[in-house]
Chains A and B, each alone.
Chain A
Amino acid sequence: MIEVRGLTKRYGDKVAVNDLSFGVEPGKVTGFLGPNGAGKTTTMRLILGLDYPNAGEVTVDGKRYANLAYPMREVGALLDAKAVHGGRSAYNHLLCLAQTNNLPKKRVGEVLELVGLSEVARKRSKGFSLGMSQRLGIAGTLLGDPQVLMFDEPVNGLDPEGILWIRNLMKALAAEGRTVFVSSHLMSEMENTADHLIVIGKGKLIADCTMAEFIARSSGAAVRVRTPSADQLVLALAAKGGTATADSDGTLLVHGMSVDAVGDIAFEEGIRLHELSVLRASLEEAFMELTADSVEYHAGVPGATAKIGSGV
Chain B
Amino acid sequence: MATTTVAPDVQLSKLPAATGQAGLVGALRSEFTKLRSVRSTYWTILALFIVSVGVAAIAGFGIASNIHNGPWNAAGTDATQASLIAFFEIGQLIIAVLGALVITSEYSTGMIRTSLTAMPRRGTVYAAKLIVFTTVTLIVSLITSFISFFVGQAAMSGSGVNASLFHSITIPQDVNMSPGPQNGPPHYTFIGHILISPGTVLTAIIGCALFVTAAALISFALGSIIRHTAGAITAAIGLLFVVPIILRVALPESWRWDVVRFFPDSAGQVLSGTVNNNNPHLWSAWPQFGVTLIYAAVFLVVGAYLFRKRDA
A243 to chain B, nearest CB (A): 41
Tell me the complex Cα distance, A82–B108, Å. Answer: 11
Residue of B nearest to A77 (CB): B117
| CB–CB A145/B12 < 8 A | yes
In the assembled complex, A265 has its CB within 8 A of some CB on chain B: no
Partner of A114, one of B10, B27, B33, B39: B10
Whether A99 contacts B26 by the Cβ 8 Å rule is: yes
* Cross-chain contact A100 with B26 (CB below 8 angstroms): yes
CB 8 Å contact bits of B27-43 with A (1 = contact, 0 = none):
10111011001111000
- For this complex, 7 residue pairs linking A to B, each with C-beta atoms less than 8 Å apart, are A66-B121, A69-B18, A69-B20, A92-B33, A99-B26, A99-B29, A165-B4
| Top 4 A-B residue pairs of the complex, sorted by shortest distance between their CB atoms | A83-B110, A92-B37, A69-B21, A100-B119
A142 at the interface (CB under 8 A from B): yes
Nearest B residue to A144, CB-CB: B15
Complex Cα gap A65–B15 (Å): 21
Report B216 CB to chain A, min CB distance, Å.
20
Are A172 and B120 in contact (CB-based, < 8 A)?
no
Q: Measured between alpha carbons, how far is A277 from B219 in the docked complex, in Å?
A: 62
Q: B1 — which chain A residues lie within 8 A by C-beta? A: 116-117, 129, 131-132, 135, 161
Partner of A102, one of B26, B37, B115, B120: B26
**Chain A residues, Cβ within 8 Å of B113:** 45, 50, 79-80, 83
The count of residues in chain A whose C-beta lies closer than 8 Å to any C-beta of chain B is: 59
Q: What would 12 more interface pairs be, CB under 8 Å, given A70-B18, A83-B111, A96-B31?
A: A48-B116, A50-B311, A50-B312, A68-B120, A70-B21, A86-B109, A88-B37, A100-B119, A101-B26, A104-B13, A110-B12, A172-B6
Q: How far is the CB of B154 from chain A (nearest CB, A)?
A: 37
Query: Which residue on chain B has the smallest CB distance to residue A165?
Result: B4
Which of B37, B38, B117, B119: most chain A Cβ within 10 A? B117
Interface centre among B5, B6, B106, B116 (most CB of A within 10 A): B6
Q: A71-B22, A83-B111, A84-B114 are in contact. Are A99 and B6 (CB under 8 A)?
A: no
A95-B33 contact given A101-B22, A107-B15, CB 8 Å threshold? yes
* A72 CB-CB contact with B under 8 Å: yes
